[in-house]
Structure 1
Amino acid sequence: MDVVSDAIATVRMGRASSNRVRANGRWCARLAPYDGAGFHVVLEGGCWLLPDGGPAVSLGVGDAVLLPHGTGHVIADSPADAETVARAVPFDGWTGGTPGSSAPGAELLCGKYRLDHSRVHPLLAELPTVVHLPHRVGGQAELRAAIDLLGGELSADRPGSGIAVPGLVDLLLVYMIRAWVAQDGGGAWSAVLGDPVTAAALRALHADPAAAWTNDRLAAEAGVSRPTLARRFTSLVGRPPMAYLTWWRLTLAAARLRDTEDSLAAIARVVGYGTPYALSHAFSREFGTTPGRYRDRRREREATGTADQGVGR
């Protein structure tokens, strides 16, 4: 497993939703704050993204934008002003603007991912409110291919689309985050993953978190001395290697409590704790509650949570 995949997997909940929308004339739609992440891709024309509390972003053909923290926002045919915001209609049930208008229109891919932000990996936590990925000829080939495939699947019902669409939407999230990490100014984790020593150590920890890791063993895995690993890892990641490992093991335990019916003993074995008691003690210290109460609380939230709004297929 790699860090980006693991970071996404531990926060993903349920199935993503997506839709292809055609907007004409004067149009303006609002998406309320959401417990997850949202995205838009411009297939034709252009539009404006107006995030709550942030500057307006102009989007052109081929541009992709990710709102990783579920920030409320408006998408519209024109920049932000009082009239634009006032006429915004809820995205759920939006009909796409003014039918028959001769004004330039736009076609968008829109979607949502449901995420558990209570235990987000620092790689995802440092993502900005808006990740704007402008279209560049010859750039981000994988992202462009995923967009083309998803757009084609959403343009018409096809055999197997029930499997193809969710898979492509998931793939799109990976490619958008990968593109952000790779681009200039992609945040601290761009440096983390670009450092061969720290990246090697992280790969080892994520590949086998239950192993009996020590600083010496991890340093040997990374091909450096223990002091060198400690210095570079702590400087870039923000915590020492063994502290990161403890945090990651408990994050994995929380995800399994949320998503599976596995016993505490089974979870303890998978994440590297010798006994259920040892895991329970560490978990309670980190989360302020027992694993059993944590699992019950997550189930209660699932049972009482509101349905997703807006984009859906």
Structure 2
Amino acid sequence: MDPLEDVLALVGATSHMSAAFAAGGRWAVRFDPPAGAKFNSVRRGGCLLWVDGMPDPVNLVEGDCFLLTSPLAFTLASDPGIPPEPAGPLFAEAAGGVARAGVGDDVFLIGGAFSFTERGRALLLDALPPVIHVPAATPEAATVRWAMGEIDDELRAAPPGGTLVAEHLALVMLVRILRLHLARAAGAGWPAALADPVLAPALRAMHARPAHPWTVAELARVAAVSRSTLAARFKEVVGRGPLEYLTGWRIELAADRIRRGDDTLSGIARAVGYGSDSALSVAFKRTTGLSPSAYQRAARDARARQWSEST
């Protein structure tokens, strides 16, 4: 099994395209923290990106893409030191699907956001750096640029179904950006482990058979290293031991099935590797802070709120 595919399936990523953004002259615009993940592509010109809590700005040039994964406010600007105006009113008044700042359109960006299920941040976003920058000059970024070009064409031409096509292309772009991040083997957490030659085989084994009663010794044999090497490497890169990771993954699988209500608690317990529903309940509450029944009620209430807000 592919752990990245497993995680993306569980977090239920959906994309939402926003108005495009054009700017010229001297300008600065401040954006509120994104609820999920925010992405943008610089189609023309260039600008600076400041993210709260990060010491240095990111210099964006034509063809660059970036993904913001943390709930942090950020600012796009032509130059340092310009007092920013809030993005909300600009996008609320967007004409022709384009929000504008400054004078002219030297800079043009298209973008949108990804939303996830309620545990998506803990499972995926918290394991990523706050900003993933994809420079245009990076050869591996060609497919990301292709996806963004196709999205731009769909939104400009506005053919039947164009918005839907653009949103699906955005999901393709998300996977490509995550692949680029994994290829760089940067940072820590399970995404970095996928690029680690020692940890990747063990991760794939646990994802392929999550209900199997894995031991550290058995996982070490899969990875072709000693138990101590596997345990130490897991702790160093992922931040917890292999069996702790396995427990967390089992709880994520259980949470997904509990949200969907497609089985009894005993059936879910067996499917994810617990001998009884009581054993699952103890582990579930220790991990999520809620009992399975309370978690199911909370998920049901959240769906009801979303439905009422959309009608």
Q: Which residue of 2 aligns with 1:38?
A: 38
Deviation of the 1:213 alpha carbon: 1.9
* Same amino acid, percent of matched pairs: 38
The correspondence of residues 58-97 of structure 1 with structure 2, limited to 5 A, is 58-82=59-83, 84-85=84-85, 89-95=89-95, 96-97=99-100
State the match for 1:21 in structure 2.
20
Segment of structure 1 superposing worse, 163-172 or 33-42: 163-172
| Contiguous gaps of at least 5 residues in structure 1 | 309-313
| Match in the other structure for 1:9 | 9
Aligned-partner Cα distance in 2 for 1:87–1:231: 46
1:202 aligns with 2:203: yes
CA contact (8 A) 1:35 1:117 kept: no
**Other structure's SS at 2:213 match:** coil
- After the TM superposition, which of the residue ranges 265-274 and 276-285 deviates more from structure 2? 265-274
Greater relative contact order, per chain length (Cα 8 Å cut-off, separation 6+): 1
Would you say 1:151 and 2:152 are equivalent positions? yes
Output the CA distance in 2 between the equivalents of 1:98 and 1:222: 53
CA-atom RMSD, angstroms? 3.1
Shift of 1:43: 0.9
| TM-score, normalised relative to structure 2 | 0.82
Structure 2: which amino acid aligns with 1:141? A
Unpaired segments ≥5 residues, structure 2: none
Moved more, 145-154 or 284-293: 145-154
1:144-183 deviation per Cα after TM superposition (whole angstroms, max 9, x unaligned): 2222222222222335545532321112112222222323
Aligned-pair distance for 1:61? 0.5
CA contact (8 A) 1:41 1:65 kept: yes
* Partner SS state of residue 275, structure 2: coil
Between the two proteins, the alignment pairs up a number of residues equal to: 302
Tell me the amino acid that sits aligned with residue 12 of structure 2.
R
Distance 1:24 1:234 in 2: 46
> CA 1:49–1:89 in structure 2 vs 1: closer, same or farther (change >3 Å)?
farther
Aligned mates of 2:165, 2:196 — CA distance in 1? 35
Contact preservation (8 Å) 1:30, 1:91: no
Q: Residues 155 and 163 of structure 2 are in contact (CA less than 8 Å); yes or no, is this contact kept in structure 1?
A: no
TM-score by length of 1: 0.81
Contact between 1:45 and 1:61, CA under 8 Å: does it hold in 2? yes
The Cα shift of 1:138 comes to 2.8
Q: Deviations over 1:59-107 (max 9, x none)?
A: 210111111013223334444422x3368735344342269x5x34222
Question: Structure 2 CA distance, aligned partners of 1:240 and 1:217?
Answer: 14
Q: Deviations over 1:169-212 (max 9, x none)?
A: 1121122222223237x212575333222110001111221223
Confirm or deny: 8 A CA contact 1:65 1:131 kept in the other structure.
yes
**Contact persistence 1:19–1:154 (CA under 8 A):** no
State the SS of the aligned residue for 2:5: helix
